[in-house]
Amino acid sequence: MKIVYICHPVGGDVQGNLKKIRAIVRHINLTEPNVIPFVPYYADVVSMDDSNPKERARGIKNNLHLLKICDELWYFSEKITRGMGEEMKEALRLGKKIKSLSKVFTNWTD
């Protein structure tokens, strides 16, 4: 099995984005038997204040470190946010495969 880091925007419509992330994780779990979707920032988003620069920095630091254990990064947005850009840059630095599923995801629902 491979561990895939799920890269998705969070800020702005936080609750709406968390709902989309849940749908992505559900879809992957139900359709990709050899993929473990990994969303480490989910816990940080629900437990810390993303608008607080210190808390946001800690969350990003956590995520970038955890990318090391992932096999790939899949992103699910046509707009790349600053946080997503940092994650993608780190994935490239680590030699991880990056895959866009932005257009595919638009058809997934809860």
Band (pLDDT 50/70/90 cuts) for residue 11 is: confident
Residue 107 and residue 76 in contact, taking contact as beta carbons nearer than 8 Å: no
Could you say which architecture CATH assigns to the domain 2-105?
3-Layer(aba) Sandwich (3.40)
d(CA 55, CA 110): 29
Question: What's the start-to-end Cα distance of the chain, in Å?
Answer: 24
Residue with the two structure tokens 């099995």? 1
Q: What is the DSSP string of 91-107?
A: HHHTT-EEEE-HHHHTT
User: Each residue of 32-67: pLDDT tens digit?
Assistant: 999 999 999 988 888 988 888 899 899 999 999 999
Band (pLDDT 50/70/90 cuts) for residue 2 is: very high
Task: Give the pLDDT of residue 24.
Answer: 93
The distance between the two most distant Cα atoms of the chain, rounded to a whole number of Å, is 38
Averaged over 72-76, what is the pLDDT? 94
Percent of the chain predicted with pLDDT > 90: 58
Q: Where are the chain's structural domains?
A: 2-105
pTM to 2 decimals?
Answer: 0.89
d(CA 82, CA 70): 20
